[in-house]
Structure 1
Amino acid sequence: MFIIEFFRVRSTDEAHATLGRVEHDTPDLEDAKVRAQSLFETLDMPQKPDALRILDQSGDKVFSWGPERSSA
């Protein structure tokens, strides 16, 4: 199980504001990455996200991605 979080980043101090969360029930991180990037453009949220992160079932960040960033 993974939690996909979509967020905005405030440019002045890099603070993150979460716009939405989606649970994705898969044991495979690669599958969660594909799903997250697919939802990035299509999920209906109050604002357009700047980036996303994927958390494991313990709440630890295992992946982050944005059109201009990428890290594990």
Structure 2
Amino acid sequence: MIEFYRTRHQDDAHAVVGREAGEAMDVDDAIRIARSLSATLDMPQRPDAVTIIDAAGGTIYSGALDPAPIPEGRPTS
């Protein structure tokens, strides 16, 4: 299971904005899938972090996602 969430930096609160179930060969493959899905899934907000949970319910990875690239021609602020 992959959980996508937003983090509030003031108090490290997490809000889940999406979940997706799937299978991966190993942790690296699961992280690659999570990064890909973070850009393609329709979620109410863009996630800034992810937690990957194995079939037994244990967390095997939790971390920040790479920030989204800014399209050319768009202002940065």
TM-score (normalizing by structure 1): 0.78
Unaligned runs of 5+ in 2: 68-77
Counterpart among 8, 11, 14 of residue 13 in structure 1: 11
Distance 1:36 1:65 in 2: 11
Deviation (angstroms), 1:27: 4.3
Higher strand share: 1
Partner of 1:54: 52
Matches within 5 A, 1:20-35: 20-35=18-33
**TM-score in terms of structure 2 length:** 0.74
- Deviations along 1:12-57, one digit per CA (max 9) or x if unpaired, are 2101111111001234222211111111112110011111110111
Tell which structure's C-alpha radius of gyration is larger: 2
Deviant stretches of 4+, over 3 Å: none
Two-structure CA RMSD over aligned residues (Å): 1.6
Q: Percent identity of the aligned residues?
A: 45
Residues matched between the structures, number: 66
